[in-house]
Amino acid sequence: MATVGVVGLGAMGSRIARRLGAAGHELVVWNRDPAKAESLVAAGALAAATPADAARRAEAVITMVADPRALVDVTEGTDGVVGGLGKGTTLIQMSTVGPDSTSRLAALLPAEALLDSPVLGSVAEVESGTLSVFLGGAPEPVEHWLPVLSTLGTVFHLGPVGAGTAAKLVANTALVGVIGILGEALALAERLGLSRDAAFEVLGKTALAGQAERRRSAVESGEYPPRFALYLARKDADLILEAAAKTGLELRLTKAADEWLAEAENAGLGDKDYSAVLARILEGTSQVESSER
C-alpha cells in the first residue's frame, strides 16, 4: 500500500480519493475549498495545508483539476505540488489539459517524476473502477504505479509523457463530435417531418445506434443530470482545436461541435450534462426549462 496525495476534490477527484482509500492506500488530500475534504478526512484521510504539503507527505500526488489555469495554480509557486515533491515522489497528472500545459509541467520535473495520466469516463466509471486511464511516462514510474492506477480502471501505457494528454484529446474529439452529429440528425428528422419515434428507429440502424439509444430518455424528458458537465466539454473542445491549430490541422467538424457547446453554455446549460447540447440543437432550452418548472 502507498501514501497517495489527491489535489483537487471535485466530482472526479473526490471519487478517485475514495476508491484509493477503499483499496487500502493512505490518503493526503487538499482542495481549494476545504469543505470538500471534510468527508474524506472523517473517513481517515489527512488534510494538507497546501498542495506542496500534500506532496511532502505522499509517495505520489494525483492532480485532478478543471483546466490549465487551475493546474498551474496547484503545481507551481512555493505552495504548489512541484515545490513539495521530494526525491522519489511522483506527480500523476490526471486533469484534462492540452500539450502546452503538459510540456510546461514536464519542464519543471525530472522525467521519472511525472506521469501524464488523464482518464476517460465519468463519476459512474470511477466509482466502479472502470475508467480508461491513458498513461504517458517513463517505463520505471509506469511499472511502479501501475497497481495503484489499475485500481481506477484499465490502464493504457501509450508512450512517454505527453501521450496521455494526446490520447485524451483524441478520445474527446470523438465524444463531442458524436453528440453534435446526433443532435443535428434529430433536428433534421424533425424538420423533415419524421416523428421522434421514427427518428430513433432510423438512427438505431446507423453507426450512432448506441449513442441514440443512450440519449433517448434525456431527449424525451428534457432532463440532463450532470455526469460530464457541459462547460468542461466545451473547455475540452477548445483545447482540442488549440492543439490541432498548432500542428497546422483544421478540424472543421470539431469546430462546429465546439460552437454548439459554446452556444449551449451561453444559454445557461453549462452545469448540466454535456448531452444537454442536444436540447439546444433541437429547440433551444425549452425542454430543459420546462422540466425544471
Name which of 26, 27, 25, 30 is nearest 8 in CA terms: 30
- 205 classed as catalytic: no
Q: Give the SS3 label for residue 79.
A: coil
- Helices marked H in 152-285: 163-191, 196-203, 209-221, 230-246, 252-264, 277-283
Beta-ladder partners of 30: 7
d(CA 144, CA 18): 21
Beta-ladder partners of 283: 285
Name the catalytic one among 168, 205, 235, 246. Answer: 168
Residues 6+ apart with CB under 8 A from 96: 118, 168, 169, 172, 232, 235, 236, 239
d(CA 74, CA 115): 16
- Residues with catalytic roles: 168
